[in-house]
């Protein structure tokens, strides 16, 4: 059976990691606005508070791992003591690349491994909304080991470094989302796969995107009435079933057009269009350009 989460992460092509070790003491707050980047943090010691724009503050303890697939703006601060309003700390970058917040001679109270990466897929805007806007895993040793491997590989100059990093990041993202105990109420693919009724239809779509699916057929996969399935899918995944199917087909089409290993007719057949003209019309409506033009540009 198809694994939708693995497919989405692989197509996103995570890359260009930046990872650093941060030591802090006293009252501190650091504000960042790295729009569109993937942010992750592993708390190695102490406690800290994460505030992502538009979400309530979250306290992190030793061993906690947090992943935010598309950061719009966030701050990380001390949890005890609570920093005064308006405080903005100025991190010091050490010669070894690690970061110090607070007096250099003070005992280290908080230690964290933080990192950023970006998605190399040109159609990331279609895929990122399928993920939760935040995932938190509490005390997962595997995530800590993976985060350290990513950091070590990012700092090294070994052969095939970029290939190794891309695969490590894929595993890190999948493990973080799979282990997450807190994804909030954000609709998306992960919530859909966690839903006993929707897991089957989602896997069916990914296993056979070329099939002429209808809402009624997918509802039978879910064991629900057509109206109950439509309402539940929309609420949990964040879009209507046919919209999800169309979005996934277009994502696959763009991937195949970029690879240039298939003709437009072959792509049309692989994603469920009865003719090249029907596929070209649907692709043009969705992407603003016909498939041949998109392939030349890619």
> In CATH, what is the architecture of 189-297?
Orthogonal Bundle (1.10)
pLDDT tens profile 195-204: 999 999 999 9
Q: Which residues pair with 30 in a beta bridge?
A: 76
- pLDDT surpasses 80 at 294: yes
pLDDT digits (tens, 9 = 90+) for 32-77: 876 667 888 899 999 999 988 878 889 999 999 988 887 668 899 9
Give the DSSP H/E element, type plus range, for residue 45: strand 38-45
Closest CA to 91 of 77, 101, 106: 101
What pLDDT, on a 0 to 100 scale, did the predictor assign at position 36?
Answer: 66
Distant-in-sequence, close-in-space partners of 65: CB < 8 Å, separation ≥ 6: 40, 41, 42, 43, 136, 137, 140, 143, 144, 147, 176, 179
**pLDDT value of position 219:** 97
**H or E element that contains 278:** helix 276-287
What residue ranges do the domains of the chain occupy? Answer: 4-179, 189-297
The pLDDT of residue 9 is 86
CATH architecture, range 4-179? Sandwich (2.60)
Question: Sign of torsion, CA 277 282 287 288?
Answer: positive
pLDDT tens digit string along 215-243?
999 999 999 999 999 999 999 999 999 99
């Amino acid at each position: 059976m198809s694994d939708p989460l693995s497919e989405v992460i692989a197509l996103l092509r995570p890359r260009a990691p930046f990872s650093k070790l941060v030591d802090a003491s006293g009252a501190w707050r650091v504000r960042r606005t790295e729009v569109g980047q993937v942010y992750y943090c592993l708390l190695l010691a102490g406690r800290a508070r994460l505030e992502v724009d538009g979400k309530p503050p979250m306290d992190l303890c030793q061993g906690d791992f947090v992943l935010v697939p598309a950061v719009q703006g966030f701050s990380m601060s001390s949890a005890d003591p609570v920093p005064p309003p308006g405080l903005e700390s100025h991190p010091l970058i050490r010669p070894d690349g690690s970061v110090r917040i607070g007096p250099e001679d003070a005992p280290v109270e908080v230690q964290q491994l933080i990192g950023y990466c970006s998605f190399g897929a040109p159609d990331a805007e279609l895929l990122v909304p399928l993920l939760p806007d935040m995932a938190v895993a509490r005390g997962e040793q595997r995530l800590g080991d993976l985060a350290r491997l990513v950091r070590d590989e990012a700092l090294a100059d070994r052969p095939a470094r970029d290939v190794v990093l891309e695969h490590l990041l894929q595993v890190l993202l999948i493990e973080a989302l799979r282990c997450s105990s807190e994804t909030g109420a954000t609709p998306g693919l992960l919530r859909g796969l966690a839903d006993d009724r929707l897991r089957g239809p989602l896997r069916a779509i990914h296993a056979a995107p070329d099939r002429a699916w209808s809402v009624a057929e997918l509802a039978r996969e879910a064991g629900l009435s057509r109206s109950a399935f439509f309402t539940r899918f929309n609420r949990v995944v964040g879009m209507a079933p046919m919209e999800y199917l169309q979005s996934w087909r277009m994502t696959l089409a763009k991937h195949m057009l970029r690879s240039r290993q298939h003709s437009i007719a072959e792509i049309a057949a692989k994603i469920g269009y009865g003719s090249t003209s029907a596929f070209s019309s649907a692709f043009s409506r969705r992407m603003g350009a016909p498939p041949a033009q998109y392939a030349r540009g890619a």
